[in-house]
Chains A and B, each alone.
Chain A
Amino acid sequence: MQDALLRLRYRYWPDHLLGEILSKRWTETAIPVIVLLIITILLSRAIPGFLSVGGLADTGRQAGEIGFIVLGMALVVIVGGIDLSVGSMFALCDFCALFCLNVLNWPVPAVIVATLACGAALGAVNGLLIGYLRLRAFITTLITLIIYRSAYDLLLFDYSNTIAAAFPDFPSWNFVGGGVVAGVPSVVLVYIVVAVFGHVFLTRLRPGWHVTAIGGSRRSAYNSGIPVRRTIALCYTASGVLTSIGALFFAARLGTVGGDVGVGLEVTVLTATVLGGISLGGGKGSVAKALVGTLIVLFVINGLTTLSVSGGVNRMVLAGVLLVAATIDIRWLKNRTRIISKVYVSPTYHGLAPAASTAPGSGPFAQNDRLRDVTLIGLGRIEAPEDVILDRNDNLYAGSRHGDIMRFLAPDYQEMEVFAHIGGQPLGMAFDRKDNLYVCIGGMGLYRITPERKVEKVTDETNRSLYSVNDDSRLRLADDLDIADDGRIFFSEATIRYEMDEWPVDGLEARGNGRIICYDPNNGTTRTVLRGLKFPNGICIASDGQSILFAETFGCSIKRYWFDGPKTGKVETVIDNLPGYPDNINLASDGNYWLAMVGMRSPALDLAWKMPGFRKRMGKRVPIDEWLFPNINTGCVIKFNERGEVLDSLWDLRGVNHPMITSMREHRGYLYLGGIANNRIGRYKLEGADPGFVQYDRRWGKSK
């Protein structure tokens, strides 16, 4: 009863979603957004009309003006610097706009161009000094802050009266300052355009990636050939231009130059930047964060002004909000990965009946020592041959940990060569009709090696499923494959929640995270055909040519899936409740199938699989190298038929040569054995097997 409840609870309650949602990049911005929401709610309750159209339009104008500057600051901070001179640049650009308009009487477009050029020039000075002369950003922009400010003060002294005396009346200029399109202020529209471009720039374009790379690690960026100096210089120039855009709208809205324009603006802007979650020191940040930070700061300042609290209280509240928000945000960012690592692993209920005995004399699984005297191939010369395969000319192929496909040449298999280099971890392999070698590469996808040794990517993505939180379109762990008669390739992906090296964690979780995917070379599409499998592994086309047999490693079962014929889409269990964890399946010469067992079940893990809460606590409290892992130290090879009868088993009792087996392949009377943790390939003489059996001659016919 309790067991049934437990099963239901873990079946229907999606524990794994929490970890997946938290690992999304956008949750980094969660705290600033929550702060923004809280502030908005508080202020809209305290101030009537705070969220009205008029109020919002007004806030929007200010937000736009400051928002441009925050974008510039964000860019500079992301590239690993800081720009303290924005306030002074803002004042100078404001002056420039009004001087051109009121004193020089230039037309509005010329004024706009001149102001932008002014901002670019001022920013370029910073850029030259910091980017090319490699001065320190903080001290340099501090000095330019002083220089620009005193230049502004001197200019103001000469021209403030002239500027104040003129009353320019250009409709276009007024539109810049107060124009509204469909209820949205002009400045907001321009901001949206710039912000969208900024987002695309930072996330999708190469120069944007360069910016983030330099901020993340200037040294590595330099070493990998990114033009560090130029990029930095351009970032400061962009900051100047963005500041001048803000100043342009400010000039058009208020039309004044005064001694206090832009004083202390750098503090506001820096505050917005940091509050949005753009970390000082570089490498981290987005346009969304800049926008959220801007809104928080502006809402707080405007709200307090509207509430007409005294200047001192105003400052205290602002500073208090900033400190609290920044503290929470920093703690959140710092602990986020730790929280994720604690909640991501979400074990579920996995009940298995007690397995058949493997004691000597107990039945088909009875232990024996038949693998004791295998011949060893490539001992110490090959690492991690997960799968082994032989071609029609008797050459032996195996993957290696280094991402190579190794070839041992017939007849004695002493000579070893690198057949092809792919990268990743080569896993299951299969030959097609034209002798192309298809390989599943853990971490990369499905690849093909032509007989001319040309490596081609076949597919590395499938259709994204609709409701999954994790992006499951990329292939993380393509595992084994087989090819149907019409050329369709069915391959398994063991898990969509973990990377290749974390496969034991997937076993600990025991959730159906795997799937079977079909690649159709006739139209080049890749579709997921079966989901929710418990670490699907070996795949083999069944005798009818319309179905595949597949192994679920942590499901301890062999199943059969029909992709064609009257039973299309059906899944049936062939063998259930195996005593070990099944791996690859391959054809035997007598029409039955070989199955590798990578490890044997243990009562401890069987019990733990029925206790998800226990495993969750273990995941949280025990360091990962002390977790309870599936046993993969002992394995065997069994032979079974499509009716689910186990016919034979081969063991290495001493556990020296092949304690753990991930694959085996029968070829001309011999069985070749591979293991992902082994440094050898075993060759075992099969008594009474067809000495002429060549798997791919039988599958595709002898003709070449």
Chain B
Amino acid sequence: MGIRSLGQQGIVFAVFAVLFAVFAATLPGFLSTSNMLTLLQNVAVLGILGLAMAIVVIGRGIDISLIAALAVPPGLVLQMVQDGHSLPASLAAAFVLTTVFGLVNGWLIAYAEVPSLFTTLASGLFLAGLGQAALFKLDVVQWSPGLEGFEKLGQGNLFGIPMPIVMFALFCIAVAFFLRRTRLGAYIYAIGDNPNGARVTGIPTRPIIVLQYVLAALIGFGAGLIMAASVNSMPTRIFNSTLIYDVILVVVLGGIGLSGGRGGVLNVVIGTLLIGTMLNGMTIMDVSYSGQNLVKGVVLLAAVIADSFLNPRNEETAQQGDI
């Protein structure tokens, strides 16, 4: 992770530590093992989505369509099983759908050069529309007997640790290995750092950008399966929620700059912990949903402002088009 991304990461970690300490001291039951597990379980899906987003953001892109990938392919699995198909066939079909979706995203961004923000905004809309119009009968796709055993993915335990947490950990290890130990991961950092430089060096930038979006979509699909398994249904209306903003916040607050080339899995974990702690603490304090959002927003803003004072941007070195 190194020194270069220490700034914001450190601040956010400090905020997390302070919050954690305050909650632990003031809220009864916050520090209990069961609450800790609940906390982690609640943010596991968010964290996994954060990993997907991280891969894309490190490569200097953004993927707004993650929530569609989270909702629609797992919804398809549930729907197909409900309609009498076998579980492996359904999984394969959803896998193909997700891959194609990622390929289309990547092609539009890498080859047609449509800005990633815009592409994924529209493609997510498209996928959600496709699900609504052609795939699902109801907004909430229900669990069916054919999925027997699959719910363990979301509700089981491994050595007493809830499965979502285990899955989050597994995803973390896999993504960290991919980003830090494989050549493709290094290429993604190179592309995010300096796309033109990477291209001139001979890195096949376009296929790798496509790969980023395919990976992101697949990870989103995985997160969706875990989510469906843990709640025994797939509420596809989740697409309309502001979950995607939480995902972006996790990534950016953790210290992965939107200008790409910086950060890693640890940053996602820190961001996820901060958001998770805040939400958990406020739930215990019985703050309303809007109130939680308000507090969350203000804390985030404070963190970002603190970062800007500690690590001010330099007009001279600011990157063009860096929003």
Contact = CB atoms under 8 A, between A and B. Distances in A.
A282 B323 CA distance: 10
Interface string A316-329: 11111011001100
A274 B320 contact: no
A147 B294 contact: yes
B126 A137 contact: no
Contact of A143 (B122, B125, B297): B297
B200 interface: no
A154 B294 contact: yes
A315 B132 contact: yes
Nearest to A84: B245
A330 B112 contact: yes
B173 interface: no
Nearest to B126: A319
A135 B249 contact: no
Contacts of A331: 112-113
B133 A82 contact: no
A312 B249 contact: no
A288 interface: no
Given A135-B308, A319-B122, A150 B242 contact: no
Contacts of A144: 297, 301
Contacts, number: 165
Contacts of B124: 319
Residue of B288, B308, B312 with highest tally of chain A CB at under 10 A: B308
Interface string A112-148: 0000000000000000010001111111101111110
Given A136-B258, A151-B294, A153-B290, A142 B248 contact: yes
Contacts of A136: 252, 258, 304, 322-323
A146 B242 contact: yes
A521 B240 CA distance: 71
B83 interface: no
A267 B297 contact: no
B318 A280 contact: no
A320 B305 CA distance: 38
Nearest to A264: B240
A59 interface: no
Nearest to B305: A133
Interface in B249-304: 249, 252, 258, 288-294, 296-298, 300-301, 304
Contacts of B112: 327, 330-331
Contacts of A147: 293-294, 297-298, 301
B118 A312 contact: no
A70 interface: no
B165 interface: no
B315 interface: yes
B323 A137 contact: yes
Interface in B156-192: none
B294 A280 contact: no
A145 B248 CA distance: 13
Given A323-B108, A330-B112, A129 B293 contact: no
B249 A143 contact: yes
Contacts of A334: 113
B131 interface: yes
A139 B321 contact: no
Interface in B60-81: none
Interface stretch (A215-223, A431-439, A506-514): A215-223
A627 interface: no
B212 interface: no
Nearest to B245: A142
A426 to B, nearest CB: 37
B121 interface: yes
B315 A228 contact: yes
Given A147-B301, A322-B122, A323-B108, A316 B130 contact: yes
A151 B294 CA distance: 7
A331 B297 CA distance: 38
B133 A312 contact: yes
Contacts of B304: 135-136, 139-140, 143
Nearest to A320: B126
A146 B133 contact: no
A289 interface: no
Contacts of B320: 80, 217-219, 281
A146 B245 contact: yes
A393 interface: no
B117 interface: yes
B84 to A, nearest CB: 23
Contacts of A280: 115, 117-118, 321, 323
A154 B290 contact: yes
A565 interface: no
A315 B315 contact: no
Interface string A239-282: 00000000000000000000000011001001100100001111
Nearest to A132: B308
A372 B249 CA distance: 78
B6 interface: no
A360 interface: no
Residue of B134, B291, B296, B323 with highest tally of chain A CB at under 10 A: B323
Given A219-B318, A320-B126, A143 B300 contact: yes
Contacts of B318: 218-219
Contacts of A317: 129
A61 interface: no
A304 to B, nearest CB: 11
B119 interface: yes
A686 interface: no
A157 interface: yes
Contacts of B248: 139, 142
Interface string A209-238: 000000001110010000010000000000
A215 to B, nearest CB: 9
A219 B309 CA distance: 20
10 contacts: A145-B245, A147-B301, A149-B293, A264-B240, A281-B115, A312-B133, A312-B134, A316-B125, A316-B129, A323-B126
Given A135-B304, A219-B320, 17 more contacts: A81-B323, A139-B248, A142-B248, A145-B245, A146-B296, A147-B298, A154-B294, A218-B320, A222-B315, A311-B129, A312-B132, A312-B133, A316-B130, A316-B133, A318-B129, A322-B122, A326-B118
Please provide the 5 A-B residue pairs with the shortest distance between their CB atoms, ordered closest to farther: A312-B133, A315-B129, A312-B132, A281-B321, A319-B126
Interface of B: 108, 112-115, 117-119, 121-126, 128-134, 240, 242, 245, 248-249, 252, 258, 288-294, 296-298, 300-301, 304-305, 308-309, 312-313, 315-316, 318, 320-323
